[in-house]
Amino acid sequence: MLRRQRRSTSRSEIEAIVAAQVAWWPLLDEAEQQRLLDLSADMVARVRWEAANGFTMSDEIPVLIAVQASLLLLGLDDDRALDNVGTVIVHRSTVTQRGERSVGGGVLTSDPVALSGQAHHRGPVLISWNAARRSLRRPGLGENVVLHEFAHKL
């Protein structure tokens, strides 16, 4: 079951959340921080955020996902590059995908696979909150499910 909602979070609220919880925030210069806040505020307001399978999504979760996704746009001249993202579905943890699927090279498998995220070409982005939160707390791990999935949408 999904709970759908659009969010309204002020820019100052976004800045407070990001400053308190994003380890790499102080590494950005003032201009980058301001642009990232603008991009994040737009994404939080524009995207439909859905909590899946009984997960309760706090107001901070869309902000923290949006700021990571918006980081991809800092090096681009196109602030609208992620406007094709209409819905983000947030799961508490990994999701097990079942059913037959291609693994490449013409090979099919029906083995279950655990997903931390998934981006659909003309559909939603799925994110495991546990994986996204881990990336925020420990960016040195070199894994970021939000950056990975939203890069597919560029």
Question: Which domains are seen in the chain, by residue range?
Answer: 2-153 (1.10.472.150)
78-84 average pLDDT score: 91
- Average pLDDT over the chain, rounded to an integer: 91
Cβ within 8 Å of residue 114, ≥6 positions away: 94, 95, 96, 97
- Confidence (pLDDT) at 5: 55
- More confident site: 104 or 20: 20
- Confidence (pLDDT) at 142: 84
- Confidence check: pLDDT of 6 > 60: no
- More confident site: 79 or 43: 43
Percent of the chain with pLDDT over 70: 95
Helices 145-153, 129-137: inter-axial angle, 10-degree rounding: 110
The region, left, alpha or beta by phi > 0 then psi within -120 to 50, assigned to residue 88 is beta
Instruction: Say how far apart CA 9 and CA 5 lie, in whole Å.
Output: 12
pTM: 0.89
- Confidence (pLDDT) at 1: 47
